[in-house]
Amino acid sequence: MKKNPAGNFVEEYAYANFVANGKPVVMTPAMKDFRQNLSLDSATPTGVPNLSQVVQMVGPITDMLTFYADLWLANKLNKLAKPGDHFYFDAMANTPNSWADGNYTIIGEDVIAFDFTLTNIDAANKTATLEVRHVPPPNPQIKLPADWMRAPVADTPNNWVQLQKMDDGKYSGEVGKEVFDAILKISLVDGKILSATLDNPVEVIERDCTDIALTKCGEPMRFQIRRQVEITLQH
């Protein structure tokens, strides 16, 4: 915990003991030296850090950012006081979130609206439970490099897009509908996130293409990406 140059509190995280597919990953110097600054201070919105040197850790870094951004926004808007209180917020829906690293992932964007519900207050244990549903806004403003990406993959306008350069020199274009539901347990004593879960399904259409404009492509393939994430504060 420290203060930034403006005098606002931020939390600085390092990552260690990185495991992928059940196997330890040898962390590069850039991965070991990376520090993620997150904050719940209403005066300090947290943005996406430079991911170009830590491509292997994009998932953990952006997931941590999601949990903090959800609670930061709920605190900032201050519309939840008792169990059952609920509000919808899409004022940020024209600002895409990006996980592009500039090397392998050329475009990686999604746009979401926030649907907040204070589901529980446990007075005995001094905790509150916040549910945040991230849903497609009515008119997602994401960068779609090809016309075929405009047709809805599911029952809403597409709000997720990815363009990646493959090892064989070809390009993978993916587009779809993304939602994710975050549930956070929060301390009423000091505001800390005690634990949180994230359920993140994406309905995707993918085409392999020979050009970066994604105009010379093979047949579309449909599949679902589903990520389920848990974090727990350990003292």
134 confidence band (pLDDT: 50, 70, 90): very high
192 confidence band (pLDDT: 50, 70, 90): very high
Token pair of 65 as six digits: 């950012």
pLDDT in tens, 17-74: 999 889 999 999 999 999 999 999 988 887 888 888 888 898 899 999 999 999 999 9
Average the pLDDT over each of 72-81, 85-94, 106-115 and give the range with the smallest value: 85-94
102 confidence band (pLDDT: 50, 70, 90): confident
Q: What is the pLDDT of residue 33?
A: 95
Which has the higher per-residue pLDDT, 94 or 142?
A: 142
Please state, in angstroms and as integers, the Cα–Cα distance from residue 86 to each residue in 91, 116, 180, following that order. 16, 5, 17
Q: What is the pLDDT of residue 68?
A: 96
pTM score above 0.75: yes
How far is the C-alpha of 234 from the C-alpha of 219, rounded, in Å? Answer: 47
98, 52 Cβ separation under 8 angstroms: no
Q: What's phi and psi for 21, nearest 5 deg?
A: 55, 35
Q: Say yes or no to pLDDT of 225 above 70.
A: yes
Q: Which helix or strand (DSSP H or E) is residue 62 part of? A: helix 58-77
Closest alpha carbon to 110 in 74, 136, 138, 77:
136
Q: Half-sphere exposure (CA, 13 Å, Cβ side) for 68?
A: 22
Q: What is the pLDDT of residue 42?
A: 87
Across the chain, what does the average pLDDT equal?
93
Q: Say yes or no to pLDDT of 93 above 70.
A: no
How far is the C-alpha of 193 from the C-alpha of 130, rounded, in Å? Answer: 10
How far is the C-alpha of 15 from the C-alpha of 211, rounded, in Å? Answer: 36
Percent of the chain's residues with pLDDT above 70: 99
221 confidence band (pLDDT: 50, 70, 90): very high
